[in-house]
Amino acid sequence: MKKWLNLMLILVLALSIAACGSVNNKEQENNQNNELEQENVTGAQQDDLKTQYPITVKDATGQEFTFDKAPERIVSTSPSETEILFAIGLDEEIVGVSDFDEYPEAAKEKPKMGGVVKPNEEAMMAANADWIVTGVSMKEDVIEQMRGLGLNVFKFDSNHLEDVKNNILLVGQITDRQEEAMKVVEQMDQEIQQVRDAVKDLTEEQKKKVYIEFSPGWTVGKGEFMDELLQIAGGINIAGDMEGWSQISEEKVIEDNPDVILYAEGSMDEQGTTIKDIILDRSGWEAIQAVQDGLIIGLNQDLLTRPGPRLTQGLIEMAKAIYPERFSE
């Protein structure tokens, strides 16, 4: 009897071990299948981010462009667009930039193509570029003149923050750098959210009135990305009742009495006077609250005015200048 019980125990144990082995083998097989499925999903996602040529897109002038492959020689006549190109890894493809391009450092080493309003046509033709990108500074008559010379000029426009992000994604699509472009836009979205989170509980009474002077005698009203940045930063733009880029009324600024004055560092008038010195010298402005409190704050000119990938860094700097207590380290 005892011998029989021992045999039964051995049989039960053997069956249990076999069952466990079967379960483990099944789990291992399932894990392998899951890993394979994940690899397939990742591969499919990467394939989705590969540009399928040919593609046809329109630029800001309404002109259609068909690309049979990614451009191999690119010229940029606009610092904002140059920053986009570099941000998504097109250093080697860039064969020319404007005379005003200095960021990133690698841009300083690129051949110069002249100004942003009217580039040097001879230099651009010599660059033998298959794609020339330009921004808001170049007017359509100049663009058409250059196109008449056989230059493939593609214009970007950026009135709003969303336009900037869409332009980055479009450059990524045209150049087959979609994954890199998406990463840049994701970083910008994170920086926007950082500012939104910092100021989200401000009451209307707590919001500060702000005056921006990005160029001597010029401010920004509604309908432009700089005004949009100010709203996201929790400020009230005293020029919000005006449209677009506007010359200032010194009397109106005094009447509106801003709590904070922001200006673009590095911007000067024809005599080389900085915006801050111009502001401090204006008659009657000593009565403005921001002047009395010493809240005349300079922001990096490029971060504030260039509609490119660093624009949201400018947003952070703007918000810190208005509400420094909400960004304590």
The answer to whether 163 touches 225, Cβ cutoff 8 Å, is: yes
Model confidence over 132-154: pLDDT tens digits?
999 999 999 999 999 999 999 99
Range(s) within the chain of domains with CATH label 3.40.50.1980 = 55-184, 201-327
Model confidence over 111-136: pLDDT tens digits?
999 999 999 999 999 999 999 999 99
Single-letter residue type at 303: L
pTM of this structure: 0.85
Is it true that domain 55-184 has CATH number 3.40.50.1980? yes
CATH superfamily, region 201-327: Nitrogenase molybdenum iron protein domain (3.40.50.1980)
Q: Residue 14 pLDDT more than 70?
A: no
DSSP code string of 241-284: TSBSEEE--HHHHHHH--SEEEEEET-B-TT--BHHHHHHHSTT
How would residue 37 be classed by pLDDT, with cut points 50, 70 and 90? low
Q: Residue 274 pLDDT more than 90?
A: yes
pLDDT of residue 39: 52
The per-residue pLDDT of the chain, averaged, comes to 90
Model confidence over 158-216: pLDDT tens digits?
999 999 999 999 999 999 999 999 999 999 999 999 999 999 999 999 999 999 999 99
The answer to whether 104 touches 84, Cβ cutoff 8 Å, is: no
